[in-house]
């Protein structure tokens, strides 16, 4: 009896790790008018932002159906394995609900559904560690305990060029308080209890980078260690600069740059920069 790890495409996992760690990824969909694309399968990050730049259409997203999850659960659990399925915050997407419905349709399978209350590589970091634990032969109970422990230590902070995308896609949450008076001011946002909330307003890009570095230390509540991902949407140069600043200040066990995918990019718009951190 082994444990299989399932997630969704909003975890923004690098394909190499997906294959290496045998993670099953259920894709969400991105729609440009009548055109539909599977996140990270039919539309990668670069292609999405190029399309966004050229299109007059505001894209939208949709969750996987219960049938999509049912098919994946049947495939990965066909030998009686336990399944741990970790997903984007239920406040941001109906993906968790679809997974839960699929579970109810497969009463004979041992499936645990987890609302991570985060997304992108904040979710991805926890998924990767769960998959590594599964590879090491840990039990479902051990991995579930690890997952909830790590989710309690996981943080994500991000700055957007405009709140337009979050607003039009209905994901703005309490960050709506920042609308208006945004000239030269960057909203710095985070996720709290699964919803997008404002952290603070920052004036200018250089100050935003500085605050990311400072916040990583402030949130640690002591010695800074663990793993950090610098996230960006069509802003590689800024992400590399931010990584250099983070590496100069702290000694994280792992420090990488990663792109957000088309689904997350639909809600943040281009130019997003952020940090996802899993503290130890």
Task: Give the strand pairing for 185-192 and 154-159.
Answer: antiparallel
* Residue found by looking up tokens 């943040």 in the block: 268
pLDDT at 279: 97
Report the percentage of the chain scoring pLDDT > 90.
78
CATH 3.40.640.10 fits 154-279, yes or no: no
| 169 C-beta neighbours (distance < 10 Å), count | 17
Per-residue confidence at 169, pLDDT binned at 50, 70, 90? low
User: Which of the residue ranges 44-48, 59-63, 75-79, 223-227 would you say has the lowest mean pLDDT?
Assistant: 75-79
pLDDT at 60: 95
Q: What does the block give as tokens for 136? A: 């090491």
> Confidence band (pLDDT; 50, 70, 90) for 170?
low
Residue from 67, 13, 71 nearest 276 by CA: 13
- Find the mean pLDDT for residues 212-223: 93
Segment 176-180 mean pLDDT: 50
Residue spans per domain, the chain: 3-28+63-151, 154-279
- Residues 112-138: pLDDT tens digits? 999 999 999 999 999 999 999 999 999
Q: Could you give phi then psi for residue 221, rounded to 5 degrees?
A: 65, 30
Q: What is the dihedral of CA 254, 272, 15, 193, to 10 degrees?
A: 70
How is residue 242 written in tokens? 């931010």
Angle at 155 between CA 223 and CA 125, to 5 degrees: 95
Q: Residue 168 has what pLDDT? A: 63
How confident is the model at residue 206, as a pLDDT?
Answer: 86
Q: Is the pLDDT of residue 179 over 80?
A: no
The answer, yes or no, to whether residue 234 has pLDDT greater than 60, is: yes
**276 touches 122 (CB < 8 A):** yes
For 2-38, the pLDDT digits (tens) are 999 999 999 999 999 999 999 999 999 999 999 999 9
Q: What is the mean pLDDT of residues 263-268?
A: 92
Classify 170 in phi/psi space as left (phi over 0), alpha (psi -120 to 50) or beta.
Answer: left
If you average pLDDT over every residue of the chain, what do you get? 92
Is the pLDDT at 88 greater than 80, yes or no?
A: yes
134 within 8 A of 20, measured Cβ to Cβ: no
Contact 83, 1 (CB under 8 A): no
Q: How far apart are CA 146 and CA 126, in angstroms?
A: 9
CATH placement of domain 3-28+63-151: 3.40.50.10170
Among 81-85, 135-139, 152-156, 165-169, name the one with the lowest average pLDDT: 165-169
């Amino acid at each position: 009896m082994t444990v299989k790890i399932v997630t969704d495409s909003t975890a923004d996992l690098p394909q190499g790790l997906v294959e290496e760690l045998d993670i099953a990824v259920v894709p969400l969909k991105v729609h440009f008018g009548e055109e539909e694309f599977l996140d990270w399968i039919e539309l990668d990050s670069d292609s999405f932002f190029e399309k966004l730049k050229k299109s007059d259409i505001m894209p939208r997203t949709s969750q996987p159906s219960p049938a999509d999850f049912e098919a994946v659960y049947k495939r990965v659990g066909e030998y009686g394995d336990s399944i741990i399925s970790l997903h984007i915050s239920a406040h941001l997407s109906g993906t968790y609900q679809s997974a839960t419905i699929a579970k109810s349709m497969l009463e004979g399978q041992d499936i645990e559904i987890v609302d991570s209350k985060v997304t992108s590589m904040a979710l991805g970091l926890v998924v990767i560690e769960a998959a590594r634990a599964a590879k090491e032969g840990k039990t479902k109970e051990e991995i579930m305990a690890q997952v909830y422990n790590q989710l309690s230590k996981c943080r994500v902070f991000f700055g957007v060029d405009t709140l337009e995308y979050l607003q039009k896609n209905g994901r703005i949450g309490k960050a709506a308080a920042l609308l208006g008076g945004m000239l030269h001011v960057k909203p710095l946002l985070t996720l709290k209890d699964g919803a997008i909330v404002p952290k603070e307003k920052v004036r200018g890009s250089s100050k935003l980078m500085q605050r990311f570095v400072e916040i990583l230390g402030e949130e640690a509540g002591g010695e800074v260690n663990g793993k950090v991902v610098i996230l960006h949407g069509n802003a590689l140069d800024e992400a590399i600069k931010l990584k250099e600043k983070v590496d100069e200040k702290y000694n994280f066990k792992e420090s990488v740059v990663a792109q957000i995918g088309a689904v997350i990019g639909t809600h943040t718009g281009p130019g997003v920069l952020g940090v996802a951190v899993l503290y130890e």
